[in-house]
Amino acid sequence: MVMESYVRKIELDGACNVRDIGGYASADGGSVMRGRLFRADGLHKLSEADRGELLGRGVKLVIDLRSDHELAAKPNVFAQSAELRYRNISLLNPALPETASPRTLGDLYVSMLDGAGEQLREVFGLIAIEPDAVLFHCAAGKDRTGVVAALLLQLAGVEDRAIVADYAETGLNLAPVMNELRADRPEAVPADLYEMFLGSDPSNMETMLAHLHSRYGGAEPYLRSIGVTEAELASLRNKLSGV
């Protein structure tokens, strides 16, 4: 029996958008395995109790999707931890010119799919070979994290409407720290544009999923196209379904 009421959000003192991506209904009538994959916002303010909570849930690999600049400004509390493995893979499209500005977040997500295949291939390869629970995160747990979460859920057979809803939940979760996020706006970015990019309008994820289906045929063929092997795909399915 699939429990749609499963509480995915993990309440922590130092982060507000930490969630288990398990519990969603999948196309085969089952549900995504709980306690295997977690998505999160920045971990730089985690308390000792917060760290203990995540370690207690079995997290043994943290994948930090932020840039070098972000790491320097807000170091990850797990970066030097002896209790788990930590990897940093910057997930902004390296092919996107610094002067180019995507018109919407949906455009940004599409650019990640099309231009950051090497980085995404590394992320999914790490998740595939990790026997224990994995947590992946960026700054807000919305954009880079949202792309990875969407691909995982789509691979698990979760309906697009549920993937979009999972993405949009970030808007509610980030409300307590929105002023802090606004304070991080680069001077070169206009305030109105930055405000739009802080949002999590469902249309952004709908744009990305439409592109994923129309250009690649879904998450599985997309992951194959960037070099994820059949053995890794099988491992990912196992992590998602528990089979």
Known catalytic residues are 138
Task: Give the amino acid at 212.
Answer: L
DSSP 176: G
Please name the residue that has the structure tokens 């996020």: 181
CA distance 38 to 136: 6
CA distance 145 to 111: 14
Number of other residues whose CB lies within 10 A of the CB of residue 210: 13
| Collapsed DSSP state (helix, strand, coil) of residue 100 | coil
Contact 64/137 with Cβ under 8 angstroms?
yes
Contacts of 163 (CB under 8 A, 6+ apart): 149, 150, 153, 154, 205, 209
CA distance 194 to 17: 19
Chain-centre distance of CA 153, in angstroms? 11
Bin 111: left if φ > 0, else alpha if -120 < ψ < 50, else beta. alpha
Contact 1/22 with Cβ under 8 angstroms?
no
